Structure 1
Amino acid sequence: MIWKIFMHEISMFFLLLSSLVCGGFSILNLMKESSCIIEWELMFMNSSSMVFVIVLDWISLMFMSFVLLISGSVLYYSGSYMSGDKNVNRFMYLVLGFVLSMCFMVLSPNLVSILLGWDGLGLVSYALVIFYQNEKSANAGMLTILSNRVGDIAILLSIGLMSSLGGWNFFIWGIYMSDENWMLLKFLMVLGAMTKSAQIPFSAWLPAAMAAPTPVSALVHSSTLVTAGVYLMIRFSSGLEGSKAQSFLLIVSCLTMFMAGLGANFEYDLKKIIALSTLSQLGVMLSILSLGYQDLAFFHLLSHAMFKALLFMCAGAVIHNVGGYQDIRLMGGLIKYMPLTLSYMVIANLALCGFPFLAGFYSKDLLLETAFMSSVNMIVFLLYVISTSLTVMYTLRLLFYSMSGEFNLLSLSSVNDEDKIMVNSMNGLGIGAIVGGGALAWIIFPESYMICMSEVMKTLVLMVSVLGGVIGYLMNMMEVSFTLKSLNNYFFSAMAGSMWFMPFLSTKNLSSISFKGGSVIQKVGDKGWYEFYGGQGANKILTNIFLVLNELQLNSIKVFMKMFMVGIIFILCLYII
């Protein structure tokens, strides 16, 4: 019983201590420009050495420091959020397994050993999504794990292709993949990253995974599962430079960014709005990475992790206080009852919008200005501009519904900010969301980027953000007329609000086609022709051959007489002809 009470505190203490150690070593390695590689050769087969590798450079240690920091805060937060659940110990162990899998994935540059973390993330995420054991959770978990299996298969095929190089370390071999001979491998690696980071057409599983408990969502959407694909692409970026796979990833990520921002403006579920904002930011990270700026993608990955975890924690506290409801239309006026939680929520949302001098500003502003300076076409440029505007629109919409007006749920309610565990777990991430971006900018970029732009382009980010905020505010003020207008254009509203029909296509249509196709293959293949020419047929042919060989081996006189008579008949036939 004592262990059950204090497990969240013990886990938080060790994870935060480990985070401090990793962060210290990361800064030390960055200052000395050094790294440590540990190799353990497991086996040598067919001129390929299978090696378990751990890379301790500043990137892996800094990212692991952030993963451990957020995991410690989330586990401490879970001590209060999950206190009423009878399976709280199982939940804690699953989250710790999730963190362990992510650490394996972060530290390994080897495609074989990376599968320990890659598959571990997929398996534990399935166990966490179905944690509440109802039909909705089961369906969401199945969609999550099947979508992620596509990426797992892509990684397995990549391992098969890389075996011809004599090793699976993509740090080393990525430099030698500049020619067109390795296009298939590059597309497979991009496909793996797309499934883990939920890019189009694999986006449906990310909002569906909101069926998991909110602390899991805070962990998944900030620094673990969905960021694994981005981290893999950052590590593999040397192999992508100047390839068609890079251009393909740019288009897909920009479309995902636009689709998620548009869908969030039609969504009313609090957790799904934040999930779609994560999807939009993942598109931002992968798009800037595909332009060749992997250091900027890593910078935004770290700054985004802090305020997104804080945002989910605030959402969890709100949902916990309003009795489990997630519809933002049932909230309102919460700033009067939960001032501290809603203040943190405002800070996290403003950081997401890139408000000056918060964490998101340093990464997002630099990222967008660098993208505008790059040689991108007009479509990509417009997608960046519109997506930035849409981010401010759905953020103001979320704050408008939850903070302003009167409380809409019940006439009598005990909504308050008195849960010390929840509030204390937000404090560290709240400080990170305010000053973390500036600190990271000084550490990662001691020498600033050279930005040369016109005044119009320089102020464009600020202009479209303000414009998006004004439009979002006006749309919220005219909610009734806006709803009627959207009903007039029902197809557009339905398409935008349902992520371009991807959940429907990913579940009903795709599953029915695959199941029907599987049954046909089973009847025609496994139970049909494979029986004649597969195992049974081969067994019959080999049995007849072995019988003949057995007769010959016994040196039977009958066999030789038969062969002699056949030979004579054959010679006579030739003579007659």
Structure 2
Amino acid sequence: MPVCFLYFFVFLICSVLSFFLSLSFMSSGYSLIVEINMVDINSCSVVMTILLDWMSLLFSSFVMFISSMVIFYSFEYMSGDFNINRFIMLVVMFVISMLLLIISPNLVSILLGWDGLGLVSYCLVIYYQNVKSYNAGMLTALTNRLGDVAFLISIAWMVNYGSWNFVFYLDCMKDSIEMQVITFLMLLAGMTKSAQIPFSSWLPAAMAAPTPVSSLVHSSTLVTAGVYLLIRFNFSMSSEVSFIMLFTGSLTMFMAGLGASYEFDLKKIIALSTLSQLGLMMSILAMGGYLLSFYHLLTHALFKALLFMCAGAMIHGLGNCQDIRFMGGLVCMMPLTCTFFIICNMSLCGLPFLSGFYSKDLILELVSMDYLSLYVYLIYFVSTGLTVAYTFRLIYYVISGDFNFFSFHMINDSGRVMLGGMSGIILMVVFMGSCLCWVMVDTPYFVCLPLVMKFMTLIVVFFGSWIGYEVSKLSLCDSSKSSVFVGMSYFLGSMWFMPYISTLGINYYPLSEGGKVFDNFDQGWSEYFGSQHLYNSMAEGSLIFQMMYKGNLKIFLSLVVMWMVFLVLIMF
């Protein structure tokens, strides 16, 4: 039996067990903290602490279920790779790091999973070993190191409490300055890992990894680690931390929606939609809806994993082409894959009654109910409209119209193993939103709004579609049109110049300016007035004296003649 299928069965069985355990813990209100004594050195004990409650078990079950389907899918997708076993082992290490992070109530043991995610993600992003992958991997690793620094500082601050088990102090010590500093540092760590503004540029760059890895990263592992950590720290958040999180999350959501409307790379469009949904989770968490944020985290994980799998099947069939302008009419050649693709996109938009609808519609209605500023209300609904805009734009380019690829092609739904992996998730995409709604919400909720605000979600979908259509037209404008429109489309389509700031702004421009300074000052004026000029002057003087020493008799006679001429002139 190939190693892929072994891990597939192990993760699938563990996922089912974890899901039923979480239901049991949820119904009985039961939590379990397990302490495993690792090492005893004299009076010092090294203890591994594990927190098992309904939240950690439910999230673990989703992570393992998606991982099992991705590993099954990878068996065919990566079949041409000679190092497929190494790839599968990296994916397994990735999942184990995420599970360690989920079940740890201790900052030190969370750091093991946190850094494990960072290290293995670097190895996976550079898997295709070329210059683009290397640059993307370095950007990913170095951006996440900023969050790791915040993590290490917070571990040092936890020494004030005498223990690193933060779950014991979240509620009772939330007003102390130490816990406020730790919570702010955790916010910084969560923002880097979940790619919030201004750390957003690494997420689209990480698309250099193989598509199964992107499916795993964007659904339930790397980028959701920051959101999950902040959900755990929800009870200790002050109003200042919540305000920062709300502002950055809403801006990220808006920026990603605009950027996706200009993008033509299939994987980057889906990556920017992940960024938009992460901003949505962060901002609703900042408003106090930590359960709602967790609910959307779970539903989003399902349809985003399947969305990347469908994109991978299309890229696989199109000979590794990711440009949506070369696609079109794929529904005739890949009907089942395109069906899955449309269902996932509809779930992303919040179409009733798919899984994304239950969490997204509830979030928007609760935003309408709350006493918030006009900015928050507008940016939520406009960002939702942009989500629908770039989703329908993607469907139009990929599925409808004429086929724009090569005449000789081999595109079909013959990949049985890949279709099997995708078929395992599609039922969850359709039904799991309503199931989680029944399971997680113990009492029925009733959102009472005026008729206009109740229909505002539907209105803003059509309005946002129109905005997205206009923005898409701007992205295609050429240099003959207004330079303002060209510059605006370039600015919005490049994620507000963030990739340039975080890559070119850090290495290229400083090195370029340093080269100019080196040419003009170190090798220019400072050399002319300094050491180089001094050396040249002394060299010229020494050459004159050397010439005198070599021809000393002739020079002596010449000087005598000049002296005699001088005396004669004085006498007369």
> Would you say 1:380 and 2:376 are equivalent positions?
yes
SS of the equivalent of 1:280 reads helix
| Alpha-carbon distance between aligned partners in 1 of 2:356 and 2:294, rounded to the nearest angstrom | 13
| Alpha-carbon distance between aligned partners in 2 of 1:386 and 1:171, rounded to the nearest angstrom | 37
Deviations 1:528-576 (A, max 9, x none): xxxxxxxxxxxxxxxxxxxxxxxxxxxxxxxxxxxxxxxxxxxxxxxxx
Displacement of 1:60: 0.3
In structure 2, list runs of 5 or more residues that go unmatched: 515-572
Cα contact 1:74–1:425 (8 A) shared by 2: yes
| Alpha-carbon distance between aligned partners in 2 of 1:431 and 1:142, rounded to the nearest angstrom | 37
Match of residue 52 from structure 2: 56
SS of the equivalent of 2:222 reads coil
Cα distance 1:343–1:487, how it changes in 2: closer, same or farther (>3 A)? farther
Cα contact 2:359–2:433 (8 A) shared by 1: yes
Displacement of 1:382: 1.2
| Pairing partner for 1:84 from 56, 59, 80 | 80
Match of residue 497 from structure 1: 493
| Alpha-carbon distance between aligned partners in 2 of 1:259 and 1:126, rounded to the nearest angstrom | 25
Cα contact 1:475–1:482 (8 A) shared by 2: no
Cα distance 1:466–1:11, how it changes in 2: closer, same or farther (>3 A)? same
Cα distance 1:483–1:292, how it changes in 2: closer, same or farther (>3 A)? farther
| Pairing partner for 2:91 from 89, 95, 100 | 95
Match of residue 222 from structure 2: 225
SS of the equivalent of 2:197 reads coil
Amino acid of the residue matched to residue 265 of structure 2? D
SS of the equivalent of 2:263 reads coil
Match of residue 253 from structure 2: 257
Cα distance 1:191–1:479, how it changes in 2: closer, same or farther (>3 A)? closer
Deviations 1:315-360 (A, max 9, x none): 0000000110000000000000000000000000000000010000
| Alpha-carbon distance between aligned partners in 2 of 1:514 and 1:25, rounded to the nearest angstrom | 54
Cα contact 1:389–1:469 (8 A) shared by 2: yes
Match of residue 517 from structure 2: none
Amino acid of the residue matched to residue 321 of structure 1? G
Amino acid of the residue matched to residue 14 of structure 1? V
> Would you say 1:201 and 2:198 are equivalent positions?
yes
Displacement of 1:309: 0.2
Match of residue 312 from structure 1: 308
Task: Report sequence identity in percent.
Answer: 52
Amino acid of the residue matched to residue 250 of structure 2? C
| Pairing partner for 1:122 from 112, 118, 139 | 118
| Pairing partner for 2:346 from 344, 347, 350 | 350
Amino acid of the residue matched to residue 200 of structure 2? S
Cα contact 1:274–1:312 (8 A) shared by 2: yes
> Would you say 1:362 and 2:358 are equivalent positions?
yes
Displacement of 1:40: 3.0
Match of residue 164 from structure 1: 160
> Would you say 1:427 and 2:423 are equivalent positions?
yes
Match of residue 175 from structure 1: 171
Cα contact 1:76–1:421 (8 A) shared by 2: yes
Displacement of 1:510: 2.3
Displacement of 1:511: 3.7
Cα contact 2:183–2:233 (8 A) shared by 1: no
Match of residue 332 from structure 1: 328
SS of the equivalent of 1:288 reads helix
Q: Quick check: 143-152 or 509-518, which moved more?
A: 509-518
Displacement of 1:374: 1.8
Deviations 1:120-166 (A, max 9, x none): 00000000000000000000000000000000110110000111111
| Alpha-carbon distance between aligned partners in 2 of 1:380 and 1:411, rounded to the nearest angstrom | 49
Cα distance 1:49–1:177, how it changes in 2: closer, same or farther (>3 A)? farther
Cα contact 1:50–1:167 (8 A) shared by 2: no
| Alpha-carbon distance between aligned partners in 2 of 1:386 and 1:485, rounded to the nearest angstrom | 27
| Alpha-carbon distance between aligned partners in 2 of 1:141 and 1:515, rounded to the nearest angstrom | 21
| Alpha-carbon distance between aligned partners in 2 of 1:507 and 1:386, rounded to the nearest angstrom | 29
Cα distance 1:134–1:301, how it changes in 2: closer, same or farther (>3 A)? same
| Alpha-carbon distance between aligned partners in 1 of 2:45 and 2:59, rounded to the nearest angstrom | 28
Amino acid of the residue matched to residue 248 of structure 2? V
| Alpha-carbon distance between aligned partners in 2 of 1:171 and 1:450, rounded to the nearest angstrom | 32
SS of the equivalent of 1:357 reads coil
Amino acid of the residue matched to residue 441 of structure 2? F
Cα contact 1:74–1:215 (8 A) shared by 2: yes
| Pairing partner for 2:182 from 165, 181, 185 | 185
Displacement of 1:50: 5.7
State TM-score, norm by structure 1. 0.85
| Alpha-carbon distance between aligned partners in 2 of 1:496 and 1:478, rounded to the nearest angstrom | 10
| Alpha-carbon distance between aligned partners in 1 of 2:220 and 2:384, rounded to the nearest angstrom | 22
SS of the equivalent of 1:52 reads strand
| Pairing partner for 2:242 from 225, 235, 246 | 246
| Alpha-carbon distance between aligned partners in 1 of 2:471 and 2:487, rounded to the nearest angstrom | 19
Deviations 1:57-101 (A, max 9, x none): 110000000000000000000000000011111100000000000
| Alpha-carbon distance between aligned partners in 2 of 1:126 and 1:51, rounded to the nearest angstrom | 29
Displacement of 1:515: 8.5
| Pairing partner for 1:416 from 398, 405, 412 | 412
Displacement of 1:43: 7.4
Displacement of 1:12: 1.0
Cα contact 1:49–1:167 (8 A) shared by 2: no
In structure 1, list runs of 5 or more residues that go unmatched: 519-577
| Pairing partner for 2:234 from 216, 234, 237 | 237
Structure with the greater alpha carbon radius of gyration = 2
Match of residue 208 from structure 2: 211
SS of the equivalent of 1:131 reads coil
| Alpha-carbon distance between aligned partners in 1 of 2:120 and 2:439, rounded to the nearest angstrom | 33
Cα contact 1:140–1:208 (8 A) shared by 2: yes
Cα distance 1:471–1:489, how it changes in 2: closer, same or farther (>3 A)? closer
| Alpha-carbon distance between aligned partners in 2 of 1:484 and 1:442, rounded to the nearest angstrom | 56
| Alpha-carbon distance between aligned partners in 1 of 2:401 and 2:512, rounded to the nearest angstrom | 52
Q: Quick check: 411-420 or 449-458, which moved more?
A: 449-458
Cα contact 1:221–1:308 (8 A) shared by 2: yes
Alignment of 1:380-529 (within 5 A): 380-472=376-468, 488-511=484-507
Task: State the aligned residue count.
Answer: 513
Alignment of 1:267-282 (within 5 A): 267-282=263-278
Match of residue 8 from structure 1: 4
Displacement of 1:436: 1.0
Cα distance 1:351–1:485, how it changes in 2: closer, same or farther (>3 A)? farther
Displacement of 1:448: 2.6
| Alpha-carbon distance between aligned partners in 2 of 1:314 and 1:110, rounded to the nearest angstrom | 37
Cα distance 1:476–1:237, how it changes in 2: closer, same or farther (>3 A)? closer
| Alpha-carbon distance between aligned partners in 2 of 1:185 and 1:486, rounded to the nearest angstrom | 49
Displacement of 1:492: 1.3
Cα contact 1:178–1:243 (8 A) shared by 2: no
Q: CA RMSD in A?
A: 2.4
Amino acid of the residue matched to residue 36 of structure 2? W
| Alpha-carbon distance between aligned partners in 2 of 1:122 and 1:434, rounded to the nearest angstrom | 32
| Alpha-carbon distance between aligned partners in 2 of 1:52 and 1:137, rounded to the nearest angstrom | 36
Cα distance 1:89–1:404, how it changes in 2: closer, same or farther (>3 A)? same
Amino acid of the residue matched to residue 315 of structure 2? I
Amino acid of the residue matched to residue 435 of structure 2? A
Alignment of 1:553-568 (within 5 A): none
Displacement of 1:478: 9.8
| Alpha-carbon distance between aligned partners in 2 of 1:145 and 1:435, rounded to the nearest angstrom | 36
